[in-house]
Structure 1
């Protein structure tokens, strides 16, 4: 049983906005960096005319898509976790363990957010080489990414606290469809049937050789 309620219209709108910001925009930045770097290589080695500031543009795009992507993974609950021990716990103790984990994550995010916020407001930044753009834009990427991750950490913390109280807990895990449509149902069923067959049938059992005749065939038909 899951504790997640059916999302209403405001929740769906917010999810679409966050999906565009964290995934669609990150994909556009990735494509832009690839195109710029390819154009720079072609221009440099074929036409002896590289793209001005190509490396700097790619760096800015890569930093932004990294932190936007990290926020997207946090929203989907798909960060890597080792749950071999936690899976053996009861539902309530699993929720209590996640409360502790989310508190640690929240403390780390709060610490990083504080210093990134201080640096963004008070530090003096030089321009990025090749671009008339302050390096402050890079710290803003960190600020946006960690703020979004803190928001999702708060969501997961509330869910875990509720589960530790009620005893009904299902951590938020949003599938991304990476395994959908890769295996045909008929193929999967045939594989299961083949796996159910005993291994000794194909390894240890001897099969009769082709062309070998039995005793009756060698002596001929009986009169």
Structure 2
């Protein structure tokens, strides 16, 4: 009798866990997709469980068309993000795409962004949970991850650097510089820089100042020099 009760309890727990995963990975994204379509947002059709990641990888791996690859293009966005360029042509400047079971809104229309944020407190929006999970170990609580009251504090510190007075002084300095140099002179002034060495020195300086590394790791960085 006790064995049957334990088996029934284990089966019930497994069913509940399976239903929870099904609701989390299938039902919740499907309901969210219906709400987005009802609100008028379109986008590429996602496939479970990767969303539009297959389209992203296929676009990055596709070879450029020789007929369109001739010449120099200033469209850096389309070159770096070909999938965004293709979706933008198909769905406009505002569309929804999926990374896994997480939807993301692509906005390239300033008027839409202005109307959507009118009267809203941006500092209360926050960042997506997926960004918090995978970027927090890399950036910590730096300016990239700042939000809410932390972002307000950072903004109050940074905003004076972009005041009209400071920008005008920089603009006057740049305009006063001689602009009659040729392209050959500019290219001739370029020189190779060992960026890796500078990065190692900067990292070492930060680690030593904050004393976050032991002597073994500091000696390892010295060895890399």
TM-score above 0.5: no
Q: In proportion to residue count, which structure has more strand?
A: 2
TM-score normalised by the chain length of structure 2: 0.21
Larger radius of gyration: 1
TM-score normalised by the chain length of structure 1: 0.21
